[in-house]
Amino acid sequence: MSLRKICSFGLSFCNLAVTGNVLKTLPPLSIKNFISTSTALKKIDQRTRQPIPPKKWLEYNSDEYPIQKPGEPRRPAFVCHAKFNIKYSPDKMWYVACFVRGMSVNEAIKQLDHLNDKGAAYVKETILEAQRLAVEEHNVEFKSTLWIADSRSGKGLVIKGLRRHARRKFGVIKYKYCHYFLKL
């Protein structure tokens, strides 16, 4: 097998490239040259060593719209809120998120009190926080008139671990985290 074929396979021990009759030395391999979809290589805050949560959803609160002209239909106010890195499966959180979508805030809180689910407690807490933010920071006059326009869950960090079985066998455990997004 020639040196050209060995280099074309991309073996890590190949440091030479053949161009005509001249041998050139390739630059040393670096981790930055590779692309990986592993969750372990996501951006991590170097100071706190925590995964960086999505920022786009909360930026919707800072959008400024032009002043409405007389005769235009009234633009309803909205408040976006989120809770990040919840230790709960995103698949299970999806059911709770769909359950409260379209309800009024007071009705959703009543219904979530009767739902015996870990995700329901997180959703209820997020709704109450968003309701408080709407009144204090976004000048919503009546907190009882709010309703849930959008409620969704997103996939967060997934940490893989190992569990030992008998006879030197191993199983992969996935510790899943999720994000919850809410729009009133």
What are the residue boundaries of the structural domains of the chain, listed by start? 3-33, 39-61+77-183
Question: How many CB atoms lie under 10 A from the CB of residue 18?
Answer: 13
The rounded distance, in Å, linking the Cα atoms of 132 and 167 is 55
Per residue in 31-64, pLDDT (tens digit) is: 555 555 555 555 677 777 777 788 899 899 888 8
| Residue 37 vs residue 79, higher pLDDT | 79
In this prediction, residue 23 has a pLDDT band, given cuts at 50, 70 and 90, of: low
State the pTM of this model. 0.73
Residue 111 has pLDDT above 70, yes or no: yes
Question: How many CB atoms lie under 10 A from the CB of residue 181?
Answer: 21
In this prediction, residue 90 has a pLDDT band, given cuts at 50, 70 and 90, of: very high
Q: Half-sphere exposure of 118 toward its Cβ, with a 13 Å CA cutoff?
A: 8
| Residue 13 vs residue 38, higher pLDDT | 38
Residue 119 has pLDDT above 90, yes or no: yes
Average pLDDT of the chain? 83
At residue 156, φ and ψ (nearest 5 deg) are -105, -145
Of residues 1, 19, 147, the one with CA closest to residue 76? 147
- Domain 39-61+77-183 is of which CATH architecture? Alpha-Beta Complex (3.90)
